[in-house]
Structure 1
Amino acid sequence: MKKILLSAFLACFSLTISAQDYEFTTTIDLEATPVISQGNTGTCWSFSASSFLESEIIRLTGKQIDISEMFTVRNTYPKKAWNYVMRQGKAQFSEGGLAHDVMNSVKSHGLVPNSAYSGLKALQERHNHAEMVSVLKAMLDVYIQNPGGKLSSNWKPAIENVLDVYLGKRPESFTYEGKTYTPQSFLEMTKVNPDDYVTLTSFTHQPYYTSFILNIPDNFSNGSFYNVTLDELVAATKNALKTGYTVELDCDVSEATFSAKYAVATIPEENVNSRKDFSAEIRKEKNITAAFRQQEFENYTTTDDHLMHITGMAKDQNGNEYFRVKNSWGSNTERIPNDGHVHMSEAFFKLKTISVMVHKDALPKALRVKLGL
């Protein structure tokens, strides 16, 4: 009887332990600007990379500046349009993009604060690009059909005019904190050098320690990625955070186990088929290998669908480490009843990360040598 009672007690105790909800303690909390919403747009790439640059500006200058996400968006659409037209419509034209598109814009056009270019019209409080993108694509499709028999260059100023109508004309100069700047002189003031940033990924279909163009739909600008081992990808990200550098993240958040509501992203051993079946309850996670990661990428289970900003790390009550990730879906709403951050487990990061962008000085020295940086 005692053995039966003891077994029953242990079973109940084990059930209680397994039914615990996550409790996180932040271990690294690097400086970042407040969480804001990207609204009804697919411009997470600009919001996340702008947040990343804002943390870099804090690190480099001590200044907290609200960078204009829409200035970058406005600069990038003509390049998307060019790619779409020159490929005769056999390419994607959408709201999506990647972190290096922000860096390309910074290098070519500089930076401006949000106060100088918000991309919002009078009385408009929330970004909504649905109509604008539909108009742009419809125009481009007509030009590609070439009804005049010979494609002229008229489509270029036409696209520029539409962008000006919806987002506003780009400022040639502006005043910030009592001083007049151009976008390039403002960039110089921030001390950001776009050439200092590198993008890392980890896939087995390309040799390690080389750079290659990753074939994903949003890589319209053919950006290059440095390929490293999966363990090195994790180690490089942790090294950056531990040495004071935040990290830009491109990943897949379509999984039912990515929960903005519960502020957690994990890969449980058992399958979770819908978000309504997921909770903040601690579950044992899968062991993620490079082979499994590659398989899930090649069968479209892992896709490039969202970019965010890693600003720190945390631990749960069992001592497991998580990346603290700043999202761009807002905060303290019915959908997101928290501060707009998500605690991402190492398993989720290994499986669902497409790439990370970091300052090259944030990389471990041994990895920099391997990459020739």
Structure 2
Amino acid sequence: MRVIIFFLFFSSVALQAQNYQFSEDINIACTPVISQGRTGTCWSFSTSSFLESEIIRLKGKPIDLSEMYTVRQIYPEKAENYIMRQGKAQFSQGGLAHDVLHSVSKYGLVPQSVYDGLDTNQTDHNHTEMVAILTAMLNRYIENPAKELSPKWKMAVSSVLDAYLGATVNEFEYDGTTFTPMSFLEMTGISPKDYITVTSFKQAPFYSTFILNIPDNFSNGSFYNVPLDELVEVTDNALKNGFSVELDVDVSEQTFSSKHGVAVIPSNDSDSKAILSEIKPEKQITQDYRQQEFENYNTTDDHLMHIVGTIKDQKGNTYYKVKNSWGTDANRNANGGYIYMSKAYFKLKAISVTVHKDALPKAIANKLNK
């Protein structure tokens, strides 16, 4: 009798501890996973990937866009902001999706084959030295030992960027046609004004726009604010209708694991290790709890990625299929470099999403006057 009881007990435990078995649900066309290397340019890699999927949707063909062309255009604007604010602003490798869209609108696009931002013998991006030099230069100008700021600082910044990333391009050949960055943009069908960024926080009225005060929002970009359930609805509606989604999210949680390929929020902290490989109950995320975690700095804007579909586990739970930019090394990145993110993780840790305005549910679009 005792043997039977133990058998039933261990059988019950085995049934409860189910390792993840994933199957694809929605899969939106995208370009291959690549690596941002030793840089903080996830904002350019993820948003470029997002635009690549948009080009596939609009034109039916993949184009590998240059992430570093955008980075090269944005750094002088970051530097000017830092200089004019006398060092009382963010100058770092970070940025947001709207910085890419701003760059696209002002400076156009170029393909990766034209501008890769690498030296001849370099295969991986590493901006550590470049940023250290730029920061030291800018701080020296701000200290202003000559008591007069020379306009040559702009030339100096440009020279450093040219040395490390390469001079910007004005005209190039692609598929037998001569383009400028702006005519190439026109060819892709991308219209930057058609994209909006949506968030969900209580410090501003819902269905309004506001500047979200996060460190990487150096350009003071505006966000549309909606209730949390509608942030999820915007994301789900986009994916169901063939639009991919750009994501700004906190990845500092112990239960965000590129090695295991999942991002989840356990209901019990004691499950934090087990939930990386087994289905466990997840926490119910409310608007108030999300706000609390943001205001106490447990949720920060530290990474941008690209949502390209949905995945289901064997119990029917839905996860977002998120394309990362940390490469495909299987020892560090499961699922070929994709993260399967639970709805609970998204609701708690997503800072914002960027979507084409046509991806909005009609009722929400009306509330936002879009």
TM-score of the aligned structures, taking structure 2 as reference length: 0.97
- Is structure 2 residue 284 aligned with structure 1 residue 302? no
Q: Secondary structure at the match of 2:321?
A: strand
Determine the structure 1 residue equivalent to 2:132. 134
Give the secondary-structure state (helix, strand or coil) at the position aligned to 2:335: coil
Partner of 1:175: 173
Secondary structure of 2:304's match?
Answer: strand
Q: Shift of residue 5 of structure 1?
A: 6.8
2:48 counterpart (46, 50, 53): 50
Structure 1 residue runs of 4+, over 2 Å off?
Answer: 4-14, 276-279
Q: Return the match for 2:207 from 209, 228, 234.
A: 209
- Checking the alignment, whether the CA contact within 8 Å between 2:109 and 2:181 is kept in structure 1 is yes
Q: Distance in 1 between matches of 2:208 and 2:341?
A: 28
| Residue identity matched to 1:316 | D
Q: Which consecutive unaligned segments of at least 5 residues does structure 2 have?
A: none
Match of 2:262 in 1: 264
1:61 to 45, 59, 83: 59
Mark the CA change 1:122 to 1:20 in structure 2 (over 3 Å): closer, same or farther. same
Shift of 1:272: 5.8
The answer for the alignment partner of 1:282 in structure 2 is 279
| Alpha carbons 1:265, 1:345 under 8 Å: kept | yes
The answer to whether structure 1 residue 255 and structure 2 residue 253 are counterparts is yes
Provide the TM-score with structure 1 as the length reference. Answer: 0.97
**Letter in structure 1 aligned against 2:142:** I
- In 2, distance between residues paired with 1:250 and 1:302? 11
Paired letter, 2:117: G
Shift of 1:295: 0.3
CA contact (8 A) 1:97 1:218 kept: yes
Q: Check the 8 A contact 2:258/2:337 in 1, yes or no.
A: yes
CA offset digits 1:214-271 (Å, max 9, x no partner): 0000000000000001000001100000000000000000101011111111000122
Aligned residues: 370
What aligned pairs does 1:77-116 form with structure 2 within 5 A after superposition? Answer: 77-116=75-114
Q: 2:60 & 2:96 partners in 1: Cα distance? A: 27
Aligned mates of 1:273, 1:125 — CA distance in 2: 40
Note if 1:223 corresponds to 2:221. yes
Shift in Å, 1:12: 2.3
Asked if structure 2 preserves the Cα contact closer than 8 Å seen for 1:272 and 1:278, the reply is no
CA spacing shift, 1:45–1:207, aligned 2, 3 Å: same
Provide closer, same or farther for how the CA distance between residues 10 and 286 of structure 1 changes in structure 2, counting only shifts above 3 A. Answer: farther
1:344 equivalent in alignment to 2:341 = yes
2:289 equivalent to 1:317: no
Could you give the per-residue CA deviations for residues 274-315 of structure 1, whole angstroms, max 9, x where no partner exists? 8x7763111110000000000000000000000000000011
SS at match of 1:339: helix
Paired with 2:241 and 2:327, the residues of 1 have a C-alpha distance of 28
- The structural deviation recorded for 1:273 is 9.5
Counterpart of 2:276 in 1: which secondary structure? coil
Give the share of equivalent positions with the same residue, in percent: 62
Q: Tell me, yes or no, if the aligned pair for 1:249 and 1:353 is still in contact at 8 Å.
A: yes
Secondary structure at the counterpart of residue 216 of structure 1: coil
Q: Alpha-carbon deviation of 1:91?
A: 1.3
Q: Which amino acid aligns with 2:283?
A: K
CA displacement at 1:171 relative to structure 2: 0.9
Provide the C-alpha distance between the structure 2 equivalents of 1:265 and 1:67, rounded to a whole number of angstroms: 28
In structure 1, the gaps of 5 or more residues are: none
2:123 pairs, out of 122, 125, 142, with 125
Counterparts of 2:264 and 2:30 in 1: how far apart (Å)?
24
